[in-house]
Structure 1
Amino acid sequence: MNSLLGAAIGGMVIVLNLGLGMNPALVGLVSALPRLTDAITDPLVGYISDQTRSRWGRRRPYIFGGAILTGIIFALLWQLPHGQSEDFYFWFFLVGSLVFYFAYTLFATPWVALGYELTPDYHERTRLMAVQNFMGQMAYLVSPWFLWFMQNDGLFDNMVDGAAWLAMIIGAFTIFVGVLPAIFLKEPYLNTIRSDAQDTDTQSFNGGVRGFFEGFLLTIKFKPFLCLCAATFLVFNGFMLVASFQTYVIIYYVFGGDQSLGAEYAGWAGTVSAIATFCIIVVISKISISMGKRKAFFLATGMSVFGYGLKWFCYHPEYPLLLLLPVPFYACGIGSLFTLMGSMIADVCDLDEIETNERREGMFGSIFWWVVKLGMAIALAAGGFLLNATGFDVELGSAQSDDTLFWMRLIDVLVPMVCSTLAIWMIYHYPITEDIAHQVRLKLERRRGKMGIAESSSQT
């Protein structure tokens, strides 16, 4: 569900430009501005979830209610009325998005936190995140075809009507799948966290507003966590910044403005990317066990840099099938990112507990995913302005200038290459190795009087 919504948000927003004629810069702004409010709502919901004590746990009540709200609001968001002004569509979508993202936060923040705390084992965390990421990638088998579905003349009168129906389908699926973790998963720290903190002499947080700000400040100053956030921001932001560019390059450079054929090939590229990502998730989890999480990140991100560069040569009007060649390479970056980052954040949460005596997966998860969403917001906003800067004009159709096409292609290739290279440099400074993670885990288990569990976990 989480991946499906993320893919849908990025893939459907093009309707505002191609279907309603909204200026690309305004499309970028209306996509980006709601994500800025997540800087407040994400950590707040994360903190509230961390502090919640109920018979159903810290996470499950929010996951259950948040999934239902998110599905309903997403379906309503895309019921766009016809014949309105550009200003009307801007404000309609902006206000609706603010409500949607708050509901989304109620679900996603506790759901992410629950994933970090399901297992204490160093390598099992990677396998768990690999399975989670693998299942999430199912969304990307279908999301590349969203544009084709929405603009299908045989199904709908126009693209806007197609988006309305697609949103209702996604909303219903969101509700059905989103409540499952709340029903079937158990929380491992339900009865132990508060007693652990009270039995020690080291720092713990007071509740309420003071506790929120103390926890927030400690989290954003925790250097291992900052390394992960910076690397994720760079890889994901670089990818998202050119996500729309890739579609425009395929349509207007490779296929000379043919939207139907361009959407079909963009769909095939997305499908190949999803299939490649499935393979990458499996491979990277095994490489991580043998080489370590940092080296696995270096390898996968390096392959993506090569893939982005390959696009310059393989996006060719005379050989359109070549555009599929770079896909498996640049898919390595995104495919491995959330498998490795999720596992590494779980390690960070252990190290943080040594210092604070709090299990704060909600706070770490909320800030991490806010960074991801901030990257998406900046990418969507900057993408619209960059597209304008290239001289692109949707009214010109296939008559875009050679300079426009050149700059579109250059941005599509260069931006993610630079961002991914900087991300490798950031993870080079990430300090938690497997030995350090095991030492931290043993100390935590001694504190809880569960040394036997720690020993059995380290042997698996």
Structure 2
Amino acid sequence: MKHYTTPEKDRVPFIQKAAFGAGNLVNNLLPGALGVFMFFLLTAFGMDPFLAGLLGGLPRIFDAITDPIMGYISDNTTSRFGRRRPYIFIGAILSGVLFAVLWQLNPENSQLYNFWYFLILSLVYLIGNTMFSTPLIGLGYEMTSDYNERTRLMASSQMVGQIAWMIVPWFWVLIADPDLFESQAVGVRQLSIIVGAICMFLGVLPAIFIKEVDQTHLENRAKITFKTMFSNLKDLFNGIKQISKNKQFVKLCGATFLVFNGFQMVASFSYFIIVFYMFKGNYGDAGHWPAWFSTISAVATAFLVIPIINWMANKVGKRKAFIYATAISIVGYLLKWWGFSPTNPWLIFIPVPLMSFGIGGLFTLMMSMTADVCDLDELENGMPRKEGTFGAIYWWMVKLGQALALVLGGLVLKLVGFESNESIQTADTIINLRIADIVIPAVTAALAIWVMWEYDLDEKRAREIKLELIKRRGSLN
């Protein structure tokens, strides 16, 4: 295919890209902070490990239910402010306020009180967060109808989103620093207010600065009222059924499940290997090395990997870019065997740029390709467009897989003989832990390449679909 130049009308202005990136930063910062803060339920507030596990798992089940419902509501909303922006604005405020309120726990309260306080507030917080994040994702899918501009948009938003992962690892250090906070509990309470305020400010920017598509061309939207609740649920299930038959979308979900959750399953292993292999179980000597490892990974992803992914996608197409990026990440995983060296800690940063191609390429390309799939769905099934529902199902699958990865990661630690209460691990445990840290994400990445090998919604087909849709209902820009 000859070189194609994106028309000016299909280009997303810088201010809108920046606003969408700010929203994506919030979408990363809130769950990242939540994951760190959850650890302090044990150490700062004395929560029983089993109860803490319930507090981590039960809200995820609730989240899995609310995501598709919010996606459907967003797809079918009719208002003069748009079908996404009102929810994003209100959801951003609720997310920030409720995140701060969620962590106003006191270790002097009874364990039962803190358990029910946190559980109930978690469910309320998730409603606000779902109201923000699900319409935001749907909005991103529809900001441009151009095949290449979609990748550029997702690349820029992922670059901004990586700032969260440069910051989050240092929450461990800040909260535990006695020079900053008189106790870990005080650190959690005060830092949660700061995080909530930042997320409120950044979260409303997409609602203020991003322009939605032309509402006049969006036909067949259902009425959302209490009277139509049961018919709405039936309509939602029918939409989910249609989406599940979309072979290209299923491939995107399958590849994401494999790459992301293979990575997530061993995400904590690097920390353990640094402490117990490189520094012989001495947390003092390990110091800030684990935090720096995570931060440098995010920096490499944002400023090196994602720009390269964007360039690759425009040169060879999104499918090939995904395959190349995922293959490069496998090389990075293999290099960890030599990079995690007790004699030279600086070598841990050698695999980082290559490993970062896995996650950096994944969400940049998958979100762009999901936008293409939304066009295919409209071509095959007609209106209404279902960006919100597609986004909700995609991220529901990610969250479900993440929960499974956390369980399986704990199982792997048990199988390799890791003892969390021991400062010195056996030689066999360390070797098996290092092998698992490499083999698991490398194998799942290879399987993801296999899943995407026959993905055929390429640039030529995407442009044909776009032209057909414009003939059918006019341009949405």
Q: TM-score, normalised by structure 2?
A: 0.86
Structure 1 range deviating more: 130-139 or 107-116: 130-139
Distance 1:79 1:24 in 2: 19
Aligned positions of 1:39-438 closer than 5 A: 39-82=64-107, 92-194=117-219, 208-278=232-302, 279-358=304-383, 359-396=385-422, 398-438=423-463
Q: How far does residue 251 in structure 1 lie from its aligned partner after superposition? A: 2.1
CA contact (8 A) 1:63 1:107 kept: yes
Instruction: Assess, with a 3 A threshold, how the Cα gap between structure 1 residues 129 and 207 changes in structure 2: closer, same or farther.
Output: farther
SS class of match (2:260)? helix
| Residue identity matched to 2:155 | A
Distance 2:334 2:110 in 1: 40
CA contact (8 A) 2:92 2:203 kept: yes
Instruction: Assess, with a 3 A threshold, how the Cα gap between structure 1 residues 161 and 244 changes in structure 2: closer, same or farther.
Output: farther
Distance 2:298 2:189 in 1: 25
CA deviation vs aligned residue, 1:137-177 (integer Å, no higher than 9, x gap): 11122122121112112112343432222222111111111
| Residue identity matched to 2:98 | I
Q: How far does residue 109 in structure 1 lie from its aligned partner after superposition? A: 0.3
Paired residues, what number? 443
| Residue identity matched to 1:426 | V
> Which residue pairs with 1:202 in the alignment?
none
Instruction: Assess, with a 3 A threshold, how the Cα gap between structure 1 residues 87 and 325 changes in structure 2: closer, same or farther.
Output: farther
Distance 1:179 1:438 in 2: 33
Instruction: Assess, with a 3 A threshold, how the Cα gap between structure 1 residues 25 and 273 changes in structure 2: closer, same or farther.
Output: farther
CA deviation vs aligned residue, 1:201-248 (integer Å, no higher than 9, x gap): xxxxx9622211111111122111110011111111111221222222
| Residue identity matched to 1:253 | Y
Structure 1 range deviating more: 82-91 or 281-290: 82-91
| Residue identity matched to 1:188 | V
CA contact (8 A) 1:112 1:365 kept: yes
CA RMSD for the aligned pairs?
Answer: 2.5
Distance 1:16 1:390 in 2: 26
> Which residue pairs with 1:6 in the alignment?
31
CA contact (8 A) 2:46 2:107 kept: no
Instruction: Assess, with a 3 A threshold, how the Cα gap between structure 1 residues 19 and 390 changes in structure 2: closer, same or farther.
Output: farther
| Residue identity matched to 2:378 | E
SS class of match (1:13)? helix
Q: How far does residue 296 in structure 1 lie from its aligned partner after superposition? A: 0.4
Distance 2:429 2:232 in 1: 53
CA contact (8 A) 1:241 1:379 kept: yes
SS class of match (1:208)? helix
Q: TM-score, normalised by structure 1?
A: 0.89
| Residue identity matched to 1:447 | R
Distance 1:29 1:160 in 2: 20
| Residue identity matched to 2:272 | Y
Distance 2:30 2:435 in 1: 29
CA contact (8 A) 2:75 2:221 kept: no
Distance 1:333 1:348 in 2: 21
SS class of match (1:395)? coil
CA contact (8 A) 1:277 1:328 kept: yes
| Residue identity matched to 2:164 | A
Q: How far does residue 88 in structure 1 lie from its aligned partner after superposition? A: 6.4
| Residue identity matched to 1:341 | M
Q: How far does residue 439 in structure 1 lie from its aligned partner after superposition? A: 0.8
Instruction: Assess, with a 3 A threshold, how the Cα gap between structure 1 residues 171 and 16 changes in structure 2: closer, same or farther.
Output: same
Structure 1 range deviating more: 361-370 or 402-411: 402-411
CA contact (8 A) 1:196 1:448 kept: no
Identity over aligned pairs, percent: 47
CA deviation vs aligned residue, 1:161-198 (integer Å, no higher than 9, x gap): 3222222211111111101111111111322111799x
| Residue identity matched to 1:428 | W
Distance 1:30 1:379 in 2: 17
Distance 2:50 2:343 in 1: 31
Structure 1 range deviating more: 413-422 or 157-166: 157-166
CA deviation vs aligned residue, 1:398-419 (integer Å, no higher than 9, x gap): 2333343333323322221111
> Which residue pairs with 1:458 in the alignment?
none
Q: How far does residue 7 in structure 1 lie from its aligned partner after superposition? A: 2.2
CA deviation vs aligned residue, 1:316-359 (integer Å, no higher than 9, x gap): 22222211111111111111111101110010000000122221
Instruction: Assess, with a 3 A threshold, how the Cα gap between structure 1 residues 403 and 20 changes in structure 2: closer, same or farther.
Output: farther
Instruction: Assess, with a 3 A threshold, how the Cα gap between structure 1 residues 24 and 277 changes in structure 2: closer, same or farther.
Output: farther
Distance 2:112 2:343 in 1: 41
Distance 1:127 1:76 in 2: 36
Q: Can you give the 5+ residue segments of structure 1 that lack an aligned partner in the other structure?
A: 198-205, 455-460
Instruction: Assess, with a 3 A threshold, how the Cα gap between structure 1 residues 13 and 307 changes in structure 2: closer, same or farther.
Output: farther
CA contact (8 A) 2:100 2:192 kept: yes
SS class of match (1:188)? coil
